[in-house]
Amino acid sequence: MENFYKSFVDKYFEEIQKKPVSYKSLFRVNLSPQQRLKFYYELFVFFVTRILFKTKSLFYNHNYFLQNLALFEETFISLNDEYSKKRYIEYIVFNTLNSNRYKLNIDLLDAKLKSQSLEQLKIKDEDRRFSNIGDLSLYDLGTLGYDVKVIHNPIGILIDFIYEQYAYKEIFNIQENDIVLDCGGATGDTALYYAAKGAKKVYVFEFIQSNIEMINKQLENNIHIKEKIEIVNKPVWNESNIELSYLEKGNSSRVGAKGVYSKNITTISIDDVVITKNIKQVDLIKMDIEGAEIPALKGSEKTIKKFKPKLAICVYHKPDDLIEIPKYIKSLNPDYEFYFDYYTDIGWEAVLYAIDRNN
């Protein structure tokens, strides 16, 4: 078995000996002014840190990832193939460096060319802009093998439909007639992806009104699959009817305890949805819910134990995601096998895949 610590240290020193890359990234082109301000603040902190320490030494880099390497090793050991382990080491090293001067291993030229090629698939520009994903256009993805029209930007289409963020090699894929629970529906792009790939039914969990409006607009552009997709207008949580507050920021909206944010919403658990909607089969659960993945998984305990669905869970929102999420999933079903990949050079869109070895 490949040694986690040797792999980590080798990759760490390989990275810091490289010439630091440009701050610019293809995946940052749609940052809002607030996000750009945060980005430049991070750069300021980076320079101050380097001036103070005058070194790139591993031992001066005190952060959560470095301090908890032993816990990250547990996830590394649980990954089921060498590619996942390689990408995982890259991801942990990237977060240990904690600097905008280092990037993850993405072929930016390929991403740029493929994003630019989408221009010929554009039908029209939309009159709405989402602060966190930028200007939107309507694209016809028929020539890509998807019988759908999607409102998005080129980077979003690249990640969802070309790189297929919610599939992993030949191991983890949507199957014909699968029932999908899409937690964190955002603007409806992943729901369209699943429906176009053959899902029988997609339940989209989304509670942000601007996102729901966009999902409905997506469905009006795709009448032929509209009946496959059903919106559940609640945030998923460990229990139903818990009152939370939320901050509305499109795809980056946040939920917190009551009183933390100005708007209020009540929750729903996946287990309760399965019962109340009399869902007889759950084949795949996807979650990208801005750090609420653990509570949502806890509210899915009965469903996961009963149906043993494929799981595609985003693990980039919180530092301990790659510790706590696989640990909890394994506690529900020891037969889950794990895979891992990421899809941007800046640490976003990292996904843990789980599939029952007996399915």
CA distance 182 to 168: 17
165: exposed, middle or buried (C-beta count within 10 Å: 0-12, 13-18, 19+)? buried
pLDDT at 129: 61
CA distance 201 to 179: 5
CA distance 184 to 290: 8
Closest CA relative to residue 332, chosen from 270, 279, 278, 243: 270
- CA dist list (Å): 149 to 114, 190, 225, 226, 284: 18, 12, 11, 12, 23
Token pair of 343 as six digits: 């899809």
- Spatial CB neighbours of 131, under 8 Å, sequence gap ≥ 6: 32, 34, 249, 250
DSSP, res 278: T
CA distance 246 to 262: 7
The verdict on pTM exceeding 0.85 is yes
Contact 211, 314 (CB under 8 A): no
pLDDT at 320: 94
Contact 187, 151 (CB under 8 A): yes
Token pair of 31 as six digits: 């940052």
Helix/strand/coil for 150: strand
pLDDT at 350: 97
Helix, strand, coil percentages for the chain (3-state, nearest 5): 45, 20, 35
Q: pLDDT by residue for the chain (359 residues), tens digit each?
A: 468 988 998 998 888 877 666 556 667 655 556 655 655 555 565 555 544 444 444 444 568 888 888 899 999 999 999 999 999 999 999 998 876 678 899 998 999 999 999 999 999 988 666 545 668 999 999 999 999 999 999 999 999 999 999 999 999 999 999 999 999 999 999 999 999 999 999 999 999 998 999 999 999 999 999 999 999 999 999 999 999 887 776 656 667 677 777 788 899 999 999 999 999 999 999 999 988 999 999 999 999 999 999 999 999 999 999 999 999 999 999 999 999 999 999 999 999 999 999 98
Strand 263-266 with 243-247, pairing: antiparallel
pLDDT at 64: 87
Strand 149-152 with 201-205, pairing: unpaired
pLDDT at 58: 45
| Domains of the chain, first to last | 4-97 (no CATH), 165-314 (3.40.50.150)
250: exposed, middle or buried (C-beta count within 10 Å: 0-12, 13-18, 19+)? middle
